[in-house]
Amino acid sequence: MTLREYFHKVASTYDRTAGTGSAAAKMLRSAPSVFGPYVPASYIIKGSAGNGAGAFCPWVSFFDPDETSTATRGMYLVYLFAEDMKTVSLSLNQGVTELRETFGVREAEKRLRGEAAAIRGAFPGNMTGGLEDVINLGGRAGLPRAYEAGNILARVYEVASLPTEEALKTDLRRMIQLYQDALVLREDLRSTTRDVITTIKPKENGEQDPLLYFAPKSDDEYMQKITARVLKKSRKHETLVKRYGAFLAEAGFAAGTNVHPRDLVARRDGDDWLIEAKVVRRGNVSHAVREAIGQLATYAFLLYPEDSQPRRMALFTEAIGDVYMRLLSHQGIASVWPTEDGWAGSPEAVIAGLAQKEG
């Protein structure tokens, strides 16, 4: 199903009085299968027609899992259908529940508008051209009005005259990038301005490796340390590993994702693969590649006998570019990353069946 078909179908069949078991409600819940190819592999996708009683403004949301996994808090990207179902807005928005619980409804909406304006104003003007500061979902009190207050930037579509499929995909990719930029701008504002950013600061959830300052005296000491340690992985990392593990299983690999401290192992056609997954943070491909090289070398040396070394592969949340792909290949490491229609990778990854096409 195309995005255009999806929007038309939901808008033309949705009836809030029909409840959450209606065909339109089921279609909203199927959003991950429709939008999954067009968003980062690590993102969480949810569609909803409400809980119990039908929502006045049904939605499809995209969550950066290191920021939030729910529309009740944090920043997220969302398609919001207006109450009359005549428009659908792709909105960079903010959860209101945490503010309502702290400040009450009116003050929460006021603070959301202020925060949205501050983040919007921090963008260079050439980045936000053609986007709307205001969305109109019908103005109904409750969540619709909160969505209107929380809007930072939006692309508003008339359902009766949607743009081309490629234009919809381009807009979605653009808004995903703006989402990532807005997260950085928000934290910059939080640290440099007073009382402008009042939403709760997200908890740090990156990798925290207790081995950072550990110098083992022997292989046994290292093994004891990594067996006992707790390595906290980001939610992006966990989602990436889970999705890729499912792909490997479908491709006929015997794949394991619960092989601590390794991220993934896979076997097919007599080849054993040691796979390390890395999140590319804020476009810093170089850092992710260096980490992958070091981690793979360490695990291969310490966890496998010298006479039965595994083949090595690095998995990334986004494309790493030709130079870094060739660098990894030079080190004997295959590389793979998600695309809109599956998984791309280095030539050796494709030959081995670890990716569907060359990047």
CB-CB contact of 318 with 280 (8 Å) = yes
Q: Quick one: tokens of 186? A: 């928000």
Cα dihedral 55, 60, 66, 69 in deg (nearest 10): 30
| pLDDT of amino acid 341 | 84
Q: Quick one: tokens of 7? A: 């929007």
CATH 3.30.920 fits 3-192, yes or no: yes
Burial state string for 255-274 with b = 16 or more CB within 10 A and e = fewer than 16 = bebeeebbbbbbebeeeebb
Q: Which helix (H) or strand (E) holds 63?
A: strand 59-63
Alpha-carbon span 308 to 211, nearest angstrom: 25
With vertex at residue 148, the alpha carbon angle to CA 142 and CA 150, rounded to the nearest 5 degrees, is: 100
> pLDDT per residue over 307-354, tens digit each?
999 999 999 999 999 999 999 999 999 999 999 889 999 999 999 999
Residues paired with residue 255 on neighbouring β-strands, in sequence order: 266
With vertex at residue 239, the alpha carbon angle to CA 235 and CA 240, rounded to the nearest 5 degrees, is: 115
Residues paired with residue 61 on neighbouring β-strands, in sequence order: 46, 78
Residues paired with residue 254 on neighbouring β-strands, in sequence order: 267
DSSP assigned state of 69: S
Q: Is 106 exposed, middle or buried (0-12, 13-18, 19+ CB in 10 A)?
A: exposed
Alpha carbon of residue 215 to chain centroid? 35
CB-CB contact of 348 with 329 (8 Å) = yes
CATH 3.40.1350.10 residue ranges for the chain: 219-358
CB-CB contact of 153 with 131 (8 Å) = yes
Model pTM score: 0.70
The alpha helices in the chain, defined as continuous H runs, are 3-13, 23-29, 31-35, 97-103, 105-122, 143-150, 165-192, 219-228, 235-250, 285-303, 322-330, 347-351
> pLDDT per residue over 30-53, tens digit each?
999 999 989 988 899 999 998 877
The two most distant CA atoms of the chain are separated, in Å, by 69
> pLDDT per residue over 194-226, tens digit each?
777 777 666 554 444 444 444 444 555 544 544
Alpha-carbon span 282 to 180, nearest angstrom: 8
CATH 3.30.920 residue ranges for the chain: 3-192
| pLDDT of amino acid 201 | 67
What sign has the CA pseudo-torsion 67, 124, 173, 248? negative
| pLDDT of amino acid 196 | 77
Alpha-carbon span 147 to 112, nearest angstrom: 9
Half-sphere exposure of 5 (CA within 13 A, CB side): 5
- The residues of the chain scoring below 50 in pLDDT are 205-217, 222-223, 225-231
CA distances from residue 70 to 78, 104, 145, 248 in whole angstroms, order as listed: 11, 20, 18, 28
Alpha-carbon span 88 to 95, nearest angstrom: 18
CATH class (in words) of the domain with range 219-358: alpha beta
Alpha-carbon span 234 to 231, nearest angstrom: 10
| pLDDT of amino acid 197 | 78
